[in-house]
Amino acid sequence: MADQAPAAALPRAAAPALRRVNLSWLGVVPFLLFTTLFLIAPIFYLVNGAFRTPEGAYTLDNLVALTGPDIWPSYWLSIRLSFTSAALGCVFGALLAWALQLGGLPPWVKRAFLTFAGVASNFAGVPLAFAFIATLGRLGLVTLILRDVFGFNLYGHGFNLFSFWGLAITYLYFQLPLMMLMMMPAMEGLRREWREAAESLGASGPQFWRMVALPVLAPSALGCFLLLFANAFGTLATVYALTSANFPVVPIVLFQQIRGNVLYNPNLGYALALGMVIIMAVSNTLYFVLRNRAERWRK
């Protein structure tokens, strides 16, 4: 009987062990599968293709070609365009978020802007390019109104929609509302008690923003800037539809190397894509470094 008691207790001991199996991991399986198929596996594919020739041999020529006179200017152009549009979007988007969240505007104004921002932040590609051509093109509505009604020739004063600044303004259409949507929760997190405490200690309004509010908002603002930079850096359809591939940013050069009839070198295209991945990795690393410093300021 003594020998049978432990044996009988084994099934009862195994039952709690089975119940302790954490089945919550099943919820993340689709995410892990999606990430593996559409993020991790393509990166390994790009790395492998960037170091190969069309015949399959390993080489460094594709990476060396990135520094050539035909490729490097496209990187520099994309970086400048992305930085400019992200910086302008951050500044004006943060000001708009401040006005809506802390400026005391009527609730219906806030609701209207949130509704418009939700649509505009996802409005890109060919429809956005057509909208700007119809508005600010050489025969666009605003261009003709300024010329015929106010006597101001927009293009005669140096503006060109199909130039660097024209593209930057076009990017602002979806960069600015996206920044506003991301910064409004951060603005909402500024507690009224912090301002009251600063005022009780004799701080002025500018001092409160410089020494309290801006350090608190810095991590969110930096993260938004990097997201806007990445958003602009990978934009293809808007530039392609607006300039007909005559503005050689990196996505267009990559498209020409992968699918083009004249410029066709898929392995060089893989190297271009790998360079874009590296730039995104560097920007994210800088974000973590700056965020940690901003968090130390907040503490």
> Residue 258 and residue 49: Cα distance in Å, rounded?
12
pLDDT at 84 (0 to 100): 94
For residue 14, CA distances in Å to 5, 23, 74 come to: 15, 17, 63
In the chain, what are the domain boundaries? 72-259+287-298
Alpha carbon of residue 44 to chain centroid = 22
Helix, coil or strand: residue 52: strand
Task: DSSP letter for 23, please.
Answer: G
Of 3.30.1300.10, 1.10.3720.10, 3.10.20.340, 1.25.40.10, the CATH number of 72-259+287-298 is 1.10.3720.10
The CB density around residue 172, as the number of other CB atoms within 10 Å, is: 20
Look up residue 226 and give its DSSP letter: H
E strand spans, the chain: none
How many Å apart are CA 213 and CA 186, to the nearest integer? 10
Instruction: Give the N- to C-terminal CA distance of the chain in Å, as an integer.
Output: 66
For residue 76, the model assigns a pLDDT of 92
pLDDT score for 282: 81
CB 171 within 8 A of CB 249: no
Which phi and psi angles does 203 have, rounded to 5°? -80, 140
- Closest alpha carbon to 213 in 237, 194, 238: 194
Weakly modelled stretches of the chain, pLDDT under 70? 1-21, 260-263, 290-299
Q: Which residues, 6+ apart, have CB-to-CB distance to 57 below 8 Å?
A: none
What pLDDT, on a 0 to 100 scale, did the predictor assign at position 83?
Answer: 93
CA distances in angstroms from 160 to 157, 168, 250, listed in the order given: 9, 11, 21
Question: How many residues can be counted in the chain?
Answer: 299
Cα–Cα distance measured from residue 226 to residue 82, given in angstroms and rounded to the nearest whole number? 10
**Closest C-alpha among 239, 125, 242 to residue 254:** 239
What are the tokens at 205?
Answer: 């309004």
Give me the pLDDT at residue 71, please: 87
Query: Do the Cβ atoms of 167 and 81 come closer than 8 Å?
Result: yes
